Structure 1
Amino acid sequence: MKKVALHNLGCKVNAYETEAMQEILEQNGYEIVPFEEKADAYIVNTCSVTNMADKKSRQMLHRAKKMNPEAVVIAAGCYVQSAGEELLKDTSVDILIGNNEKVNLPSILENWEKEHNPLHVHDLTREHTYEELTLSHTAGHTRAFMKIQDGCNQFCTYCIIPYTRGRVRSRRLSDIVAEAGRLAENGYQEVVLTGIHLDSYGTDLEEHENLLTVIQEIAKIDGIKRIRLGSLEPRIMTEEFVAGLAAEEKLCPHFHLSLQSGCDATLKRMNRRYSAEEFRQCCERLRRHFDDPALTTDVIVGFPGETEEEFTATVEFLKDICFYETHVFKYSRRKGTKADRMPDQIPEQIKNQRSDVLLALTEKNSGEYRKKLLGRTVKVLLEEESTIGGTTYLAGHTREYVKVAVAPETAAAGEIIDVKVTGLLKDMVLGE
């Protein structure tokens, strides 16, 4: 039996695909070993969202070849799609696998032994078929991520993803429901729906299914207690859609809406296709239909041309909406995107200063949201032990994705229990 080691870089979609590749290999008789151990083959599922991600991908590929110069080193995923020609010249890499070829991994490895064919990448701009990777279990023991969509048609000016992932491709609803059923049978009570552009699910299907349809069908499965959504665009949050979400009791009231900027001029340069006011209305809609939902977001600081006035508009917008959490990213130039060629690139020092302002604001807002839970009883899906200040707790998350710590003897990981919130810790709450 050949030993194979896998390493994942990047997003939740990549993580799902890495676990799916591992499951395919196991089913085909391969032994999976930790990446740090000597293996016959190393697979790096690469990321290319930033130039730094490219660099990390190269480093992991070179590290694999150094660990065992005789091993077959496989580069898979987004960096392969964006820099295939460059990787063909890299002596540390033996096989290149594109984003719609991962399901063929066992046959690719077999063919390598016969023909030494290094290249398995094709033009995703012409690809309209969803690559059906599946999972029956995941590395996490309580929550399972499910990929239901691939590709993006948005072409934000800072983003390389439409070029590395191709156009929108949706997974068949029957395959999604079947996988959710298998996960439920294996004890997973919560599923997280994820994709490259989750909002676009169904736009390429003749059946006219959409994200709400997926949620409604998964909600019918016995054993699934929670359905959580990955990152969404604000434009999907129409009155009809939000009302449909609110009707599903299993849906977690935690919504991650990608903002990127609270200034209309910056949003226009980013090609985000909505205004700050439209975003505000989406948040108000969610708060009307749900009881104090957790709204989280992403913001990019230092986008080309962002003036002090534009940044101030973003700060004021964030104060007004008062997100539970804001993930702050300093703009990183990405070769191959329109933003990389824009004038008025912002110095790193200013990006750092603006990032610090927003990080302080999100810490304040996050703390205030958690304070509102004091004295309340919440349902918590217990997940794993966590040591804080020398004390061991059993930690889990509420439906709103607030982290809660309880005494380890309270219950077992994988259980959903009622917890009364009794105190505050740095980034979580304490309960009993």
Structure 2
Amino acid sequence: MSDLFDTAGRMNPQPLAAALRPATLDDIIGQEAVVAPGSILRRRIAAGRLGSIILYGPPGLGKTSIARAVGNMLGKTFRPLNATRAGVADIRRIADDARIHPTLIFVDEVQRFSATQTDDLLALCEEGLVDFIGATTGNPFHVLTPALVSRSTIIRLEPLTLGEMEQVVRRGIDHLHATDIPIVLTPDMVRLIAGRSGGDARRALTTLESLAVGHAGDEDIVITDDMIDEAYASAPINHDRSGDAHYDIVSAFIKSMRGSDPDATLYWLARLIHGGEDPRYIARRIMIHASEDIGLADNSVLQTAVAASQAVEKIGYPEAQTILAHAALHLARAPKSSSASRGLGLALQYVASQPPESVPLHLRDAHYKGAASLGHVGYQFPHDDARGWVEQTYAEGIPRGAFYQSDARGASTFEKRADEFWERVTGMPPVRR
């Protein structure tokens, strides 16, 4: 008996991920909304006319598998095109064949298509000569031409859940057993591979395949935790720092801090760190959040954020991880106030849309000879009053509370204490949102 790779030179066996490629949508694991009865794909397949479809999502979710399954179900010739190498002449040759054989064109990484390639392909689709499925890991609204987006149905694929990933791994084990490769994994190991593959089915199957390398004979191939660690030691991390997923994870990190959820904050921070995100970038996001969403509720948060930024500049990974966690948790656990960012936003909006207010005469510069003759008099110095405050106008036409509205809540925050202090001094209650 030979193992999976003994006959590579003679037979070139398919990679496990290719061998397990589903034949129909019924064989797809995950993506329930996309492949379920009544979905847009099912309806178009039933009608025998697919049109133009764009599938997008991270690698390893089954974009190519879904495209091939759709081609099988439509009974059409599946013609993959390489976006970087296919020229207009290639597209036109496929068009000539399509007049004889019904054809589905599939383009992976379709964002690499030139405008000319895209125009030719769209013309074929609009003539009804071919059906088309494009796949991309980027957000179509960011990476594709407007013409392609407007003429296509956009379908987003989601990462597989842990349970779905376990199904993928078990399907791979069953296939290996059927091909006389008796690999043995415990349920915990199946779960470990599923979890460490990050929702990427191809990565899970490639890892499983690598565990079977070099094991020939009739005896069971017993896998150990060390073997799994070794298989993942050099595995690529699925985190594109310039892609759509990057911004989604950063957004989730910030919103978890704003939402005061420390566990979610640490999870998304760990995703960023694990993905190799620059610690200085993370620290900058923490500094911005410190004033945007906490501000006057806890002024010490900005100090923590600035200190963290300075620390990671000097230290770097791995020690910087804990510093980032310290700062992020301070922000997550701090009381929240958006009065600073909201107030400035209202003020900027007012300045941009209204005629400029004149500086009151008593606030104008009076430090030069002749200022008094211009009327620059009447300013009352607050420190001369026992309260440290005098009632005078500081901006004509700007009513109290037009921009700053306190976010003080039940906690004894700086903003809450300030509200109480100034109400005692002025006799005026705070303006709240």
Judging by fraction of residues, say which structure has more strand: 1
Same fold (TM over 0.5): no
Q: Larger relative contact order (C-alpha < 8 A, sep ≥ 6)? A: 2
Structure having the higher helix fraction is 2
Name which one, 1 or 2, has greater alpha-carbon Rg: 2
TM-score w.r.t. the length of structure 1 is 0.25
Q: TM-score if structure 2 supplies the norm length?
A: 0.25
